[in-house]
A and B are shown apart, each in its own frame.
Chain A
């Protein structure tokens, strides 16, 4: 069964990745293009001053643009988004397998689709929502090249802390369910998760690197669409995975029915 779950996760990830890429290509790419236009206008003066030097350097290394903008915004972005969604689908399937192995055994009357829905919501919050809240996404040209290492490290740390804390919170909530009730257990686990995130956010560095004169509307639109993009991705992923689980469930019921008929 776990093989089927992983297959369903990868399929759901593929569909979610394609839908999310179409969304991003339509709504986010124009913001990226505006940001790159700003970047180029800002560096034009600087480039003119260093024109001779820059040309010599390019000749020396043989380095021109590795991939054209057209390739980056279409093929590269498409492949990247689908790979991301496939990875999320794989994580989703593994998390569901483990969760359902416990929940389905302990509370057999639970609808597996409810578990899928809860997992989709918690996955969105833990893997994207909280890291975005601590380090909001930025279009190109926002962010100092010198801090890219520190920013990547901090982003990875908050993502890992968030996902691990969420896993622990779910385990705690399930352990408390029979003792103090589902709602009370989930509330305690939720507060614990938020405390961990609050402490981590306080300990991690902050970055304020928006260059002077950068259009605020571009950052605003970019961030809204970046959130919407992940809402689209996680919604499609969750719904397709739930549909696949339903198909497996029906098939199992059918098989059980066939067995009963055969036994008669």
Chain B
């Protein structure tokens, strides 16, 4: 009996990768867009990821004002 049991095919549900990859794609898109939004609107204003450098801030300074972000 134990032999029959061992011989029986193992039934493991096959994950639906198409749904998973869709979820991953959507999540990655949101994360990258959020990162771009953060660097454009917030970095080097109140906080700065790369220390006290102001290149990003100065470069997009006018865009920040155009788009309504708080600035000096």
A positions within 8 Å CB-CB of B: 2-3, 6, 21, 24, 28-29, 32, 65-67, 71-73, 76-81, 83-84, 86-88, 90-91, 93-94, 97-98, 128, 131-132, 135-141, 143, 145, 148-153, 155-156, 222, 226, 229-230
Contacts and interface: CB of A to CB of B under 8 A. Distances in A.
Interface in B5-34: 22, 25-26, 29-30, 32-34
Question: Which of B33, B62, B64 has the most C-beta atoms of chain A within 10 angstroms of its own C-beta?
Answer: B62
A131 B60 contact: no
A76 B66 contact: no
B58 to A, nearest CB: 4
Contacts of B30: 90-91, 94
A80 B62 contact: yes
Contacts of B26: 2, 6, 94, 97-98
B46 A137 contact: no
A28 B72 CA distance: 17
13 contacts: A6-B25, A32-B65, A65-B58, A67-B55, A76-B63, A80-B66, A83-B60, A84-B67, A88-B33, A90-B33, A128-B68, A148-B71, A230-B68
Contacts, number: 139
A65 B72 CA distance: 16
B27 to A, nearest CB: 9
B59 interface: yes
Given A80-B40, A148-B70, A148-B72, 16 more contacts: A21-B66, A28-B65, A32-B62, A32-B66, A66-B54, A76-B60, A80-B59, A80-B62, A84-B36, A84-B37, A86-B33, A87-B37, A88-B33, A91-B30, A137-B67, A140-B72
Contact of B62 (A3, A77, A93, A145): A77
B66 A77 contact: yes
A73 B68 contact: no
A88 B68 CA distance: 14
